[in-house]
Structure 1
Amino acid sequence: MRVIKDKNLRKKVVNVGYALTQPSFQYYRDEIRLSNEDAGRWLNNIPVEQWTRAFDKGCRWGHVTTNIVECMNGVFKGIRNLPITALVRSTYYRLASMFATRGERWSAVLMSGKETMDHNEGRPNLAYAVRLNKSWCDCGKFQAFRIPCSHVIASCAYTRQDAYSHLFDVYKANTIMNIYNQSFSVLPMEDYWPPYEGDIVWHNEEMRRKKKGRPNSTRIITEMDSTDKMIRLYSIYRQPGHNKNNGPNRGASSRS
């Protein structure tokens, strides 16, 4: 959006980045090149390993965005405007509570001895080549997400193999349990804290939130937030560029 400034190509660029297979990538890539040659040359200057799922060799596990930590927004909801001390304290106790709750959940799964794969794909369709020994499927989902897709599950059923044996360790219950098995140390009373020696930080009165009126937004606006503004038309001639102050009949009296 900064270089090409073409809103119509934005969705096509997103489709190129999210394409799972190289043929799909090439299809959308050709569409961009035919629509705008400058955009095609601009994309050629960026290594495909840095922004596409089709060529990342499974390093991103299906993710394209670098904002994966956005999933923690629900944990911190409602505390972003607290003072810094209360913010740190709330963050600590909320994370400790979340780890305890999820630890209990995955401990129950581990004790039951059952694991599930929610691929949510339904019955496999069309024809895809599957190479179980190389963790490969033509659909590209097996390589990107490291979870057996419906085609891999069908191949395992045909060859009498366990599909769970092709599930990567990062998704298994014991691995997830190790994440939430960490303990949070109990904070002692403030009276037992060691004396602090260092800089003292004072708050800035100018950054205090307004008590009246609508609060000012501190969100950084980028080119991805650009929207098409509605063109206002002059009420008489229904043409843009005029208003009651600079219209053709400005200053005209009823006598004239």
Structure 2
Amino acid sequence: MRATYERLQQLFIRKGREAMAQISAGQEFSQHLIRSIEKLRKSLPNMRVTHHDRQSEVFSVDELEETEGYAGLEWGRYVDPVYKIQSVFSVYWVEFPPIPDEQYWPQWHGAIVRHNPSMRRKK
């Protein structure tokens, strides 16, 4: 348990530093999110609705050249704020208190789980 706790603590420190570096560099969104959005934008067809008749539910759609499509679209305002680097950083800004010695742990009166040695895998 202690080893898992300490590894998680190191992960939070590393991820917090990465997020802080991205904030310092002036990035609003993570590089992973930006790469994913750009990849999806390249695969989407470039279309524009030129006419819509609400009564008969008829659409007129023109297909655009690649350069006319989503180049001017500001996608950042459509992304939920939870995906901003600042929100990610706030997740990793948690302090990990040290684990106290076992003698200070409260008494446990529940079930005790023990491993079955016959279920052990061979090395």
Fold shared, TM-score > 0.5 on shorter chain: yes
Specify the structure having the higher radius of gyration (Cα). 1
Question: What corresponds to 2:117 in structure 1?
Answer: 205
Match of 2:5 among 69, 89, 92: 92
Please say if 1:104 is aligned against 2:17.
Answer: yes
Q: Could you tell me how far apart the structure 2 residues matched to 1:175 and 1:109 are?
A: 12
Q: Could you tell me how far apart the structure 1 residues matched to 2:39 and 2:93 are?
A: 32
1:158-237 alignment, distance < 5 Å: 162-210=74-122
CA separation of 1:121/1:210 partners in 2, compared to 1, >3 Å: closer, same or farther? closer
Contact 1:130 1:155 (C-alpha < 8 Å) held by counterparts? no
CA separation of 1:155/1:190 partners in 2, compared to 1, >3 Å: closer, same or farther? same
Structure 2: give runs of 5+ residues left out of the alignment: 50-68
SS across alignment from 2:39: coil
- Aligned residue pairs total 99
Counterpart amino acid of residue 168 in structure 1: D
Please say if 1:129 is aligned against 2:42.
Answer: no
Percentage of pairs with the same residue: 33
CA separation of 1:91/1:125 partners in 2, compared to 1, >3 Å: closer, same or farther? closer
TM superposition score normalised by structure 1:
0.32
Question: What corresponds to 1:155 in structure 2?
Answer: 72
Extract structure 1 runs of 4+ deviating beyond 6 A. Answer: none
Question: What corresponds to 1:245 in structure 2?
Answer: none
Shift of 1:181: 1.9
CA separation of 1:97/1:126 partners in 2, compared to 1, >3 Å: closer, same or farther? closer
CA root-mean-square deviation: 3.2
1:34-73 alignment, distance < 5 Å: none
Q: Could you tell me how far apart the structure 2 residues matched to 1:125 and 1:202 are?
A: 52
In terms of fraction of residues, the more strand-rich structure is 2
Structure 1: give runs of 5+ residues left out of the alignment: 1-87, 132-150, 157-161, 212-256
Counterpart amino acid of residue 96 in structure 2: F
In terms of fraction of residues, the more helix-rich structure is 2
TM superposition score normalised by structure 2:
0.58
Counterpart amino acid of residue 91 in structure 2: I
